[in-house]
Structure 1
C-alpha cells in the first residue's frame, strides 16, 4: 500500500519559513540538557529512590522518568545528527546516556512485567482474586527435574490432572483446562512474584549505585556543559539538518519493509506461536527485527522533535504504530519471564502448566501487537501533517 511521509528535505515549509540550520539542533539539545538538570535537581530534593520506590514520592517518580526522557532524546539527537557535532565529544557521551537511561528503566520494567503477568494469570484462570505471594508457594514435591515451558500444553495438562485432581479449586462452571490452570495459577503467580520482585530489588540497588557513582557524575557534568554550549562541527551553522532526519526516516521505512507484514496481517499467526514455544532460553529470534523497528521509530520521532520543537506535527500513524510496538516489547519480555520461571527446578506439574499457558498467552499478545502495527502502519491518514 502506498504511504505518504513527511518531506523533511523540503527547503521551506512555507513562503516565509526561515532556513533550518544546525542552530535548531543546538537549541533542541540545550533544551533537553536543561530538562535533564531540572529533573536531577528535583530528584535530589525529593530524596526518593531512582524510580520512586522504597518510600519515594510521586515527585521522585516523575523526576526519574524525566531523567530517562531527556537522556534518551539527547542520545538520539547525538546519534541522528552526529555529522553536525564534534565527533569525539558526541561519541564519548552518547553511550553513557544510553547506559543511564537503560539502568533507570530496569526497576520500572520489572514492576510492569510482574503486573502484566499476574493480571494475565487472573484473566486466564478465572480466579476471583489476582494471584499473590503465598508462603511456600511455587514449589512441588516429586517433580524431580526442571520442567520446561517447551512441554506441550496437552501433555502438561495431563500431568497436572493426574497429580492434582483431588486439590482442584471450584470455579463457576470451569472447563477442564480452566480447572487445571486454576490449580497452578496461584503457585505460578507466587513464583513470578518472587523472581521479579527480586529482580526489581536488584535493579533498584543498581540504579542507586549508578546515581551515586563517579560515572554518573561525569555524565551530569557533560550535560551541564551541553546546557550552555553545544559542541557543533564548524560547518553546522550553515548546514541543513533535515537530510539527516530524512535519512533516519528512510532507515525506519527500510526496516519496516523487511518485516513479515503479510504474516503479521493475520490476527493469528500459528507459525510464530510454535516458534514462541521453543525451549531455547535465548531471546526469541523473531522479535529482534521488531525491537529494531521500535528503536528506529523512536529515533524518527525524536528527529522531528529536534527540527520542529513544540511545533512538531502530530502524526497519528506514528503514535499508534509506536504504541503497538511498545505492546509488542512488553508482551515479548513477559513471555520470556514466564518461560524463565518454568525452567525453575522441582516445580509442580500444575505450576508448569500454568506458566506454559501464560507463556502462550503472551506470545499471542505479541502476534496481536504485530497485527495492530501492520494495520496502523499501512493506514493512510487523510489530511495534512500526518502520513
Structure 2
C-alpha cells in the first residue's frame, strides 16, 4: 500500500505557527555565517594542526568541524531556498562552500576509517585487548598500530548496535589461526595507506585554507554575516513550501530504496558483489548515500524554519544515525578492498583483508536493516495507511 507523506519531525500538533517569511532564512544564514567566521578565527589561532598527529589540539579539531558544519548548512540552505535568494550570488558561492566542506572533511574521514578498520580487525581476530596508543604517532610497523580509548569505545558501541539490529544475519566465520597471522600485517598496511591519505588530506586542507579561492569564499561569507542578498519578493514569501519540497524529495528517494531486500537481515546479493575484484563503487550503495544527503537537506531546512536549536525528532535522529553507519561501513569496506589489491602481499594478509571487507559489507547490510526497521516503525506509528 502506498505510504502518504508525513511530518518527519515527530512533533505534536500545537497552535498555529506564526507567519514565516524569507526573513527567517536571512536570520539563519547570518547566524551560520557568524559561526563560520568564529570558527575560522579559532582555526587560525590554533594553527590548524592535524588531529591525532601530536601537532594539533582539541580546539583545532573543533574549529575545523565547526567550519565544515557552517559551510554545509549555508550551502544546503542556498540549495533548498534558492528561489528566495539572488540567483547569481547563490549559484556562485554554493559550489565553493561545498568544495570547502568536502576538502575539510577528508582528513577526519581517513582517521575515522582507520579507527573502524583496526577495531574490526581486533574483534575478528579474537584479540582480548585493544591497544590504547594514539593513532598516527607510529609509522605503521606491525601490530603496534592502535586506536584511542575513546574511539575504541565509540566504535565498539556502534558494532554492538549494528549487530543487534542485524540479529539473525550470518557473520563471517574466519579461520582464527590464519586471521591472527594476517591481522597484524593487514593492520600495518591499512595504517600506512590511511595515514598517508590522512596526511595528504591535511596538506590539501591547509593549502585550500591558504588559497585565493578560499579567501574569496571567506569574503563572501563575511558579507553574508551582515547582509543576505534576498530576492525582492522574499520578504513576503513563505519558505515552508520549499522546505516541504525538500521533504518530498527525501520521501520519494526513500520509497525508491530496495527496502524489501533490506528488510531481510542478510542480503547475499550485496555481499557477493562486494567480494568481486571490481574496484568500482558498490552499485547498491549510491541510492542510500543519496538518501543520506537528502535527509541532511531536510534537517537543515527544518533548522531554517524552527531554529538550529530545535529538538531533532526521533525519526530523523535514528534514520540519520543508520545512514551514517551505512556510509562509514561502505567506505571502510572499500578501503579494505583497496588494501587487498596491494601487489605482492602475503596470502595471510590478503585473507585477513578479505574477511575484514566481508565484515564491513555485513555492517552495511545491518545499517540498511536498521534504517528500514526504524523508518517503517515510525510510519506505522503515524497512522499513515500502513498495517
Deviates more, 1:10-19 or 1:290-299: 10-19
Change in Cα spacing, 1:126 to 1:87, as seen in structure 2 (3 Å) is: same
How much has 1:4 moved relative to structure 2? 7.2
Shift in Å at residue 17 of structure 1? 3.5
Shift of the 153–73 alpha-carbon distance from structure 1 to 2, 3 Å rule, reads closer
| Aligned mates of 2:298, 2:126 — CA distance in 1 | 42
Partner secondary structure for residue 310 of structure 1? coil
* CA-CA distance at 1:272 after TM superposition: 1.1
Gaps of 5+ in 1: none
The total of aligned residue pairs comes to 385
The 2-side partners of 1:352 and 1:206 are apart by 31
Equivalent residues of 1:30, 1:226 under 8 A apart: yes
Task: Work out whether residues 332 and 362 of structure 1, in 8 Å CA contact, stay in contact via their aligned partners in 2.
Answer: yes
CA contact (8 A) 1:168 1:182 kept: no
Distance 1:20 1:152, change over 3 A: closer
Post-superposition offset of 1:18: 2.4
Q: CA offset at residue 287 of structure 1?
A: 0.3
CA pair 286-8 structure 1, distance change in 2 beyond 3 A? closer
Question: Whole-Å Cα distance in 2 between the matches of residues 163 and 230 of structure 1?
Answer: 43
Is the partner of 1:192 in helix, strand or coil? helix
Q: Say whether the 8 Å CA contact 1:180–1:350 is kept in structure 2.
A: yes
The residue that corresponds to 2:75 in the other structure is 75
Q: What are the ranges of 5 or more consecutive residues in structure 2 without an aligned counterpart? A: none
Post-superposition Cα deviations, 1:318-355, rounded to whole Å, max 9, x if no partner, equal 11000000000000000000000000000111111000
For each residue in 1:90-134, what CA deviation from the matched residue of structure 2 results, as whole angstroms up to 9, or x when unmatched?
Answer: 110001001110111100100000010000000001134558999
Aligned residues of 2:4 and 2:385 also touching (Cα < 8 A): no
> How far did residue 38 of structure 1 move?
0.7
Deviations 1:67-104 (A, max 9, x none): 00000000000000001101110110001001110111
The whole-number CA distance in structure 1 between the counterparts of 2:60 and 2:156 is 49
CA RMSD, aligned part only?
8.9
Q: Secondary structure at the match of 2:143?
A: coil
Residues 51, 95 of structure 1: alpha-carbon distance in 2 compared, 3 angstrom cutoff: farther
Q: TM-score, normalised by structure 1?
A: 0.84
Task: Give the CA deviation at 1:49.
Answer: 2.2
Larger radius of gyration: 1
| TM score, norm. by length of structure 2 | 0.84
- Whether contact under 8 Å (1:184, 1:353) holds in the other structure is yes
Structure 2 Cα separation of the partners of residues 249 and 170 of structure 1 = 33
Distance verdict in 2 for CA 1:133–1:50, change over 3 Å: closer
CA shift for structure 1 position 181? 0.9
Task: Encode CA deviations 1:23-82: one digit per residue, 9 max, x unaligned.
Answer: 100000000000000111111112232657451211111111100000000000000000
Q: Deviations over 1:238-296 (max 9, x none)?
A: 11100000000000000000000011011111111111112110111110000000000
> 2:379·2:386 contact (CA, 8 Å) conserved in 1?
yes
CA contact (8 A) 1:51 1:64 kept: no
Q: Deviations over 1:156-196 (max 9, x none)?
A: 99999999999999999999811111111111111001000
CA–CA distance in structure 1, aligned partners of residues 230 and 330 of structure 2: 39
1:13 deviation in Å?
8.1
Shift in CA distance, 5/202, structure 1 to aligned 2, threshold 3 Å: same
Q: Residues 9 and 23 of structure 1: is their aligned pair in 2 closer, same or farther, counting only changes over 3 Å?
A: farther
In structure 2, do the counterparts of structure 1 residues 341 and 132 end up closer, same or farther at CA, with 3 Å as the change threshold?
farther
Contact 2:162 2:366 (C-alpha < 8 Å) held by counterparts:
no
Choose from 270, 273, 277 the match for 2:271. 273
Question: Residues 38, 259 of structure 1: CA spacing in aligned structure 2 closer, same or farther, 3 A cutoff?
Answer: same
- The answer to whether the 8 A contact 2:21-2:234 is kept is yes
Alignment match, 1:63: 63
Q: Determine the C-alpha separation between the residues in 2 that align with 1:225 and 1:275.
A: 49
Q: 132-141 or 256-265, which moves further after superposition?
A: 132-141
**Aligned-partner Cα distance in 2 for 1:154–1:11:** 35
**Contact persistence 1:51–1:65 (CA under 8 A):** no
